[in-house]
Amino acid sequence: MQMSRRLATFVVGLWLGAVALAVLVMPWAGNWVAAGVASVLVAGMAAFAVPRFGEVNSRWSTSGFFHLAFSFAVGPPAILAMAVAQAFGNATRRRPGWFRTAFNVADHFLADTAAWLCFRAVAGGHPQPLTLALAGVAGSLGEVVVNRTLLAAVKALASEPSTVLGTLREFLQSAPIALPFGITAAAATLLYKTEGTWGIVTLLLPIAMVQASMVVLARRAHGQALAEEAQRREREGLLRREAQALRRAGDASEAERKRIAADLHDSVIQDVSGLLLRSSAMLGRLSDGDPSISSREGVETFLNYTRDLAAETVRELRTLMVELAPPLLDEEGLSSALRQLLSRLDRDHISWVLECTEEQLDQRQERLAYRVIQEALRNVVKHAQCHTVWVTVRTESDRLLVSIRDDGRGFSAAERAEQRKKGHAGLGLLAQTARDGGGELSITSAPGKGTRVEISVPMLPPPVAEETTEGEVAPVAPAVVSHPSVGGRVVEAGTAGDGLETSVPAARGSRPRKPRSPAPAASRR
């Protein structure tokens, strides 16, 4: 609060000094038309200052030269007009507030007045060219001294870092520019005397055009810098997302390898180990001379056991191969692959209902839907303890919607968090699979009310039909040929144990598939 009062007192003192100077010293009879022209030019130069390269929050403008030229040539009317115009131009660009604007008006008025007084004191009535040049240098230096001194005083009152050496250094940095500005501005007074207002304007207008072109170039450079920065951020974002996707893919691949290893350990390896143990036991009994081993009945028993075990092992391996790369997905489409996937629930005594669109889908979306449903069904079998599963694949507007619902025991948020702590990542894999495919996953569950898993994926454009050698579009085969066409979706149901299914084939325009065999007749339970 004390600092604001000190600054306010200082600015009020500047204004009082400026008013006293204007009333007691400065003559106001002059060319007010030239003053108006000067104010317009100065305001435009201040509003469209050029950013300085390599500096922060710093801009350059030719308005300083305009201040000197019009102050020397026109005098007090131009000084007052330019002080107000300069502050107004700065305000439109930086929005400094009323306090800084008030200081800027007083600062420019006093600095230009100092330049005018110094110029008049050195030039006299009818100066020679050398005297005129020296007067211009004196006026320019006087303006710099007053301006830098007032700025240093404001910094000191605002407790900003400022030293006498720093102020002197700023003055010395401004001097090389002030000297040619002063000499050229002094020469402009000669043109003003002979040609009047428009004479000095013709001198200064090219300078204004130079600044205007620099403003255009600076804005283009700024726009290009922003575009390059946006491209850089986009590249970094793409690289970051790619790295995350690779890391997630590696994690998912590792989890899948562990699952495959666990499946092999629990099924195939156990069966083969059992065969190995039984073979070793029979060899031991054979070497001990056990007559029952070499009997026909004993041999048949062992061979039957071996055959059944081999058949079970082959079935387990085929199931594992289908899970890794389901051939029906590419050969007959998503609905056939899902029907095959759901039919495995029969052995777990789980009924199922499938409703699947036969609309043309991109293969990546079919694989994504299949993987999500596959992982969801794996969780259902392991944890849900349900009687029925409902699977729906449909399109709505520009999105593919997949839903897997069961009537199992469900779970709470606390139970899910506990499962994650124990390392169960089934639902996490589901969410990751959906995100990798550009989709959104939602899971709704409550104890005793089952679980619903839903994924929404943006639709991709369907594959384009191939052309024949004659340039004609090849005909598209229907997805299902075993039943008459009655709709654009496949609705199937399977009850635990009887494999009941009802098929509704695709509408015209589906992707070519190999025709499947008609479903075997089955009766409802």
Which phi and psi angles does 281 have, rounded to 5°? -65, -40
If pLDDT is split at 50, 70 and 90, which confidence band does 368 have? confident
The pLDDT tens digits for 401-416 are 999 999 999 888 888 7
Query: Residue 325: how many CB atoms within 10 A of its CB?
Result: 8
Instruction: Find out whether 374 and 406 touch, Cβ atoms under 8 Å.
Output: no
Instruction: Yes or no: say if 175 and 144 are a contact pair by the CB < 8 Å rule.
Output: yes
Q: Which of 398, 359, 402 is nearest to 377 (CA)?
A: 402
CATH code 3.40.50.1820 for 333-461+479-525: no
User: Do 451 and 445 form a contact (C-beta atoms < 8 A)?
Assistant: yes
- pLDDT, one tens digit per residue, over 93-134 is 777 777 788 888 888 899 888 888 898 888 887 778 888 889
The phi, psi pair for 354, rounded to 5°, reads: -120, 130
Statement: residue 522 has pLDDT above 70? no
Q: Specify whether domain 2-207 bears CATH 1.10.1760.20.
A: yes
Give the separation between CA 248 and CA 436, rounded to whole angstroms.
8
Task: Categorize the per-residue pLDDT at 316 as very low, low, confident or very high, splitting at 50, 70 and 90.
Answer: confident
Average confidence (pLDDT) over 186-209 = 77
As a whole number of angstroms, the distance between CA 376 and CA 378 comes to 5
CB 362 within 8 A of CB 395: no
Q: What pLDDT sits at residue 454?
A: 92
DSSP H or E stretch at residue 396? strand 388-396
Question: Residue 388 has what pLDDT?
Answer: 93
Cα–Cα distance measured from residue 343 to residue 327, given in angstroms and rounded to the nearest whole number: 15
Task: State yes or no: pLDDT of 29 exceeds 70.
Answer: yes
**Amino acid (one-letter) located at 66:** F
Matching fold, domains 2-207 and 333-461+479-525: no
Helix (H) or strand (E) segment spanning residue 404: strand 399-406
- Contact (CB, 8 A) for 136 and 114: no
Q: Which carries the bigger pLDDT value, residue 427 or residue 330?
A: 330
Residue 15: band (very low, low, confident or very high) from pLDDT cuts 50, 70, 90: confident
Please write the tens of the pLDDT for every residue from 336-362: 889 888 988 888 899 999 999 888 788
Q: Residue 391: name the closest of 424, 362, 441, 352 by CA.
A: 352
Which of helix, strand or coil describes residue 400?
strand
What's the pLDDT band for 256 if we cut at 50, 70, 90?
Answer: low
pLDDT band of residue 163 (cuts 50, 70, 90) is low
Residue type for position 157:
L
Strands 489-494 and 351-357: antiparallel
Run of H or E residues at 245: helix 197-266
Put the strands of the sheet holding 388-396 in their side by side order.
440-445, 451-458, 399-406, 388-396, 351-357, 489-494
- pLDDT value for 351: 93
Task: Quote the mean pLDDT of the chain.
Answer: 74
The residue ranges of every structural domain in the chain are: 2-207, 267-324, 333-461+479-525
pLDDT band at residue 52, thresholds of 50, 70 and 90?
A: low
pLDDT of 273? 76
Report CA dihedral (18, 22, 26, 27) to the nearest 10 degrees: 150
Would you place residue 463 in the very low, low, confident or very high pLDDT band (cuts 50, 70, 90)?
low
Mean pLDDT of 322-338: 78
